[in-house]
Every structure is written in structure tokens, then in C-alpha cells.
């Protein structure tokens, strides 16, 4: 990394530490949704302005920054909300990371491949103690951290060859379809029922699979299969 680029490369690791600290404080003191969202937006804005952001077909930089902030905050919270059942968030993160790792290897992005390998290894090692019945839990600190890293890595990726620029947007949406669907559906249900969107409930995909007759383990495995 060139000397001038070094500070920019540090923004994502420093941002991840801020997100980890935010989750740790929330696990102990239960911060308000507004405070958590404000910190996430500030951290995502720092990454988008100072490090990397989506380039949207020649659109003004402000548009790319706004979309990048929305993406980082959205994916970060998607993995946080996915952590409503033992083994879900870590397992889905490992599977999604594996898909991105294949892309990184195929496209010769060795640095991203190494970062993804570390993330996958951490998730799988943790999953050994988190798969139901769990003996260890991610908490907000772990789930927000994992979601933030995956979000930032997808922003850093080059998913396409020159002939297919839409791959930049379609590939991450496809790989992360399950957590994004789960988050979107529960938020929509809460809005339609006029309930706070950050208030927990049993309308998540895995909860609905349990309501249909699957065991909790079976529901977790079903979500893994859907993600894969």
C-alpha cells in the first residue's frame, strides 16, 4: 500500500472497531435505536467519503456516497437482525463469505480473498459453539461487526468485466438475498402493523419456518440452504 493510501486503508478496520464497541455497549446497556443508527451512519459515511464507495454509472459522487452509506448500514443491520436464532447469523455469514471468496479467487483479488478467508474461518470456528443448542452467542457486538465487514468488503469488490458493469450491483444482492429479504420483510410487517421497526418479534423467516412445523435446528439449516 502506498504511503498516501495507508490512512484510507485503515478506515475500514477502524470503523469496524467502532461498530464492535457500539455493539458491546449495546449488549451491556441497551442503547436506543436512534443512537445506534446515528453511530452506524457516521461510521459508514467515513468509509464512503474517505475510503471506498460505489461508482454509479457516472453519477455525482454524492449519489455514490449516499448509496454506499445505505448499503453499509443496511447490511450491517441485516446480520444483526438475523441473529434472532442460534447459529443463523454466523452460518449465513460463512456461506455468503464463501460465495464472495469464490468470486475473489476467480477475479484475482487476492487481498479480498485473504480477508474473506479470515472472516469465514472465524465464523465457522464460532459456529461450532453457536449452532443450536448454543453455548456462546454473538450478541450485538458480534453480529454488527460481521455485517459491517461483509458490507465493506462488497463495496471494495470488483465483480465484473468491462462488458457487464451491472454485476457490481447484482452479485452482492444475489449473494445476500436471504438476510436482505429477512430484514426487509420484518421491517415491512412492523410498518404495516404500526409497530417500532427495531422492536423484536417472531416474523423473521426462521420463526415462520418453525411455525410451519420445523424444529429450530431444521429452520436454521433451511435458511442455510436458501442462502447457498
**Residue 33 CB-half CA count within 13 A:** 8
Cis bond upstream, residue 133 (ω within 30): yes
| DSSP per-residue codes, 112-156 | HHHHHHHHHHHHHHHHHHHSSSPSS--HHHHHHHHHHHHHHHHHH
For 189, which DSSP code? H
Residues 6 or more apart from 100 whose CB is under 8 A from it? Answer: 112, 116, 150, 153, 154, 157, 172, 175
23-42 pLDDT, tens digit each: 999 999 989 989 999 999 99
52-98 pLDDT, tens digit each: 777 665 668 888 899 999 999 999 999 999 999 999 999 999 999 99
Contact 89, 169 (CB under 8 A): no
Residue 3 has pLDDT above 50, yes or no: no
80: its cell numbers:
444483526
- Please provide the size of the chain in residues: 228
Phi and psi based region of residue 58 (left: phi greater than 0; alpha: psi -120 to 50; beta: remaining) = left
Amino acid at each position: 500500500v502506498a504511503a498516501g493510501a495507508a490512512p484510507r486503508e485503515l478506515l475500514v478496520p477502524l470503523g469496524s472497531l467502532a461498530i464492535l464497541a457500539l455493539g458491546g455497549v449495546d449488549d451491556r446497556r441497551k442503547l436506543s435505536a436512534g443512537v445506534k443508527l446515528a453511530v452506524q451512519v457516521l461510521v459508514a459515511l467515513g468509509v464512503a467519503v474517505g475510503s471506498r464507495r460505489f461508482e454509479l454509472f457516472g453519477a455525482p459522487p454524492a449519489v455514490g456516497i449516499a448509496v454506499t452509506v445505505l448499503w453499509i448500514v443496511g447490511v450491517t443491520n441485516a446480520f444483526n437482525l438475523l441473529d434472532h436464532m442460534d447459529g443463523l447469523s454466523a452460518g449465513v455469514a460463512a456461506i455468503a463469505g464463501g460465495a464472495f471468496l469464490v468470486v475473489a479467487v476467480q477475479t484475482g483479488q487476492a487481498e479480498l480473498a485473504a480477508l474473506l478467508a479470515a472472516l469465514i474461518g472465524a465464523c465457522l470456528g464460532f459456529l461450532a459453539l453457536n449452532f443450536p443448542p448454543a453455548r456462546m452467542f454473538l450478541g450485538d457486538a458480534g453480529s454488527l461487526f460481521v455485517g459491517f465487514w461483509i458490507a465493506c468488503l462488497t463495496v471494495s469488490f470488483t465483480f465484473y468485466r468491462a462488458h457487464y458493469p451491472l454485476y457490481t450491483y447484482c452479485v452482492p444482492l444475489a449473494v445476500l438475498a436471504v438476510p436482505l429479504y429477512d430484514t426487509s420483510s420484518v421491517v415491512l410487517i412492523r410498518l404495516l402493523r404500526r409497530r417500532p421497526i427495531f422492536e423484536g418479534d417472531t416474523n423473521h423467516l426462521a420463526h415462520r419456518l418453525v411455525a410451519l412445523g420445523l424444529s429450530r435446528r431444521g429452520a436454521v439449516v433451511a435458511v442455510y440452504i436458501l442462502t447457498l
